[in-house]
Amino acid sequence: MTTPIEVRPAPDAGHRHKPAPALSALDDDALAELVGALGEPPWRARQLRQAAWQPYVASLDDIRQLPTPLREGLMARLRFITATVASERLADRGTTIKLLCALGDSQTVETVAMESPARGTSSRRATVCVSTQVGCAIGCPFCATGRMGLRRSCTPAEVIDQVRLGGQALHRHGLGPVTHVVYMGMGEPLAAYETTVASLRALAGHGGISPRRMTVSTSGVVPGIRRLGAEGLPVTLAISLHAATDELRDRLVPVNRAHPLDALIAAAGAYGRATGRRLSLEWCLIGGVNDGLDQATGLVRIARRLRAHVNVIPMNRIEGSPWGPPPADVSRAFLRHLSQAGLTVTVRDTRGGEADAACGQLRASLEPRRQLRPDGTLGPQRSGRPRS
């Protein structure tokens, strides 16, 4: 289901002059200084910041507690938000919302907001999945985003504002406030390291989201893992593993050629010790590729060494790929092998598939594609107009 959205030009699109600073990029002192320059006391800055995080506030005009002269002055000196919603799709009976977010230079990224109701001892949660890059340079052949190539990294404000837009979308559809953020959208978060860390700090600060409720996923950028472990941010680290041998992982996750499994496992272990956080190993289960018991045995070995949780994700079908999920009996045998080895395993709900919002399906529909060859390698980008 696609919901029509009024498409407005993204802030400062097409302007050659230096854009006004973004609200989400300013720290408290800078925001207070800006408000002070407009003749207002510092508490007005706190009022503005708090209002900006309310899901029913979409513009400065909506903050009626601010005096009209201050709102007008801020409109000329501040970008309230760095992205706009260009389109929206719903899935899972309205509890998964996929947003195509237009940035100031007309690039687009995709953001997904998901509501999960309380069940048993589990509390309700609303998760926003953010993108850190426009496209991705990693090139994993089972991921639609990886077939786009990379245009640029997002700014910290653009990542933060995806969370704000996700909160607004949840509110618009009668759902609750954001409780969790996962860096699992378009791009490799640790290849956009400064953006990732700055946005994590802001979300944990004025965003009010505990670092323990944030997860950063990486394909295995070892230097970035080591740096993140020293930041003092106890976020969960999710390793997109997908293969238990270097030979197969070189094919599925090309960054493995630079950072092979031994180095990745060592860095992940150091991260867990430094932060006290349990690691998560992500495994996209691909029929006939990494669903055999030999790979399951290797996964058990790695998970035991890292004392990690294992998250198995049956592959979602993507356009042009010869791959897909395994038959049900093969999946059951793989999972049985893991559970009999005593691992803590979950199977991720493939939410959002009907809206192309599930894992590995994220893509900006107007971007050129790279051709997926039958052997799983990537060809050059195709020119011309791709299908949306």
Q: Render pLDDT for 320-345 as a digit per residue (tens, 0 to 9).
A: 778 899 999 999 999 999 999 999 99
| Catalytic annotation, pick one of 40, 110, 282, 367 | 110
pLDDT value at residue 144: 76
Q: Render pLDDT for 130-157 as a digit per residue (tens, 0 to 9).
A: 999 999 999 888 887 777 789 999 999 9
Q: What is d(CA 294, CA 4) in angstroms, rounded to the nearest whole number?
A: 48
pLDDT value at residue 322: 83
Q: Which residue has the higher pLDDT, 217 or 321?
A: 217
Q: Which residue has the higher pLDDT, 377 or 18?
A: 18
Fold of 83-379: TIM Barrel (3.20.20)
Classify residue 153 by its DSSP letter. Answer: E
Q: Render pLDDT for 222-248 as a digit per residue (tens, 0 to 9).
A: 999 999 999 999 999 999 999 999 999
How would residue 351 be classed by pLDDT, with cut points 50, 70 and 90? low
Q: Which residue has the higher pLDDT, 108 or 375?
A: 108
62-71, 172-181, 315-324: least confidently modelled range? 315-324
pLDDT value at residue 199: 98
Question: For residues 221, 223, 225 and 230, what is the CA-based torsion angle, rounded to 10 degrees?
Answer: -170
**Burial (CB count <10 Å: 0-12, 13-18, 19+), residue 353:** middle
What does the pLDDT average to over 94-119?
Answer: 94
pLDDT value at residue 350: 54
Q: What is d(CA 372, CA 388) in angstroms, rounded to the nearest whole number?
A: 17
Q: What is d(CA 72, CA 253) in angstroms, rounded to the nearest whole number?
A: 49
Q: What is d(CA 155, CA 184) in angstroms, rounded to the nearest whole number?
A: 16
Q: Render pLDDT for 281-291 as a digit per residue (tens, 0 to 9).
A: 999 999 999 99
Give the predicted TM-score (pTM) of the model.
0.86
Whether the pLDDT of residue 385 is over 50: the answer is: no
CA atoms within 13 A on the CB side of 292: 9
pLDDT value at residue 184: 95
What does the pLDDT average to over 258-268?
Answer: 98
172-176, 188-192, 377-381: least confidently modelled range? 377-381
Place of tokens 């970035």: 224
Place of tokens 């070892």: 222
pLDDT value at residue 349: 63
For 125, the token pair is 């949660």
pLDDT value at residue 23: 98
| Catalytic annotation, pick one of 40, 140, 359, 367 | 359
pLDDT value at residue 120: 86
Of 162, 156, 180, 60, give the one whose Cα is nearest residue 108. Answer: 162
Cβ 312 vs Cβ 271: under 8 Å: no
Place of tokens 């979950």: 346
359 is catalytic: yes
65-79, 244-258, 339-353: least confidently modelled range? 339-353
Cβ 63 vs Cβ 82: under 8 Å: no
How would residue 99 be classed by pLDDT, with cut points 50, 70 and 90? very high
Place of tokens 């309205």: 94
Cβ 271 vs Cβ 305: under 8 Å: no
Of 146, 159, 203, give the one whose Cα is nearest residue 381. Answer: 146
How would residue 8 be classed by pLDDT, with cut points 50, 70 and 90? very low
In b/e form, how buried is each residue of 60-94, taking b as 16+ CB within 10 angstroms? beebeebeeebbebbeeebbbbbbbbbbbbbbbee
What residues does each domain of the chain span?
83-379
pLDDT value at residue 147: 73
pLDDT value at residue 141: 84
pLDDT above 90: percentage of residues in the chain? 77
Residue 263's φ and ψ, nearest 5 degrees, are -70, -40
33 is catalytic: no
Q: What is d(CA 376, CA 295) in angstroms, rounded to the nearest whole number?
A: 18
What does the pLDDT average to over 163-185?
Answer: 97
70-84, 289-303, 321-335: least confidently modelled range? 321-335
Strand partners, 339: none
What does the pLDDT average to over 72-84?
Answer: 97
Classify residue 358 by its DSSP letter. Answer: S
How would residue 2 be classed by pLDDT, with cut points 50, 70 and 90? very low
pLDDT value at residue 29: 96
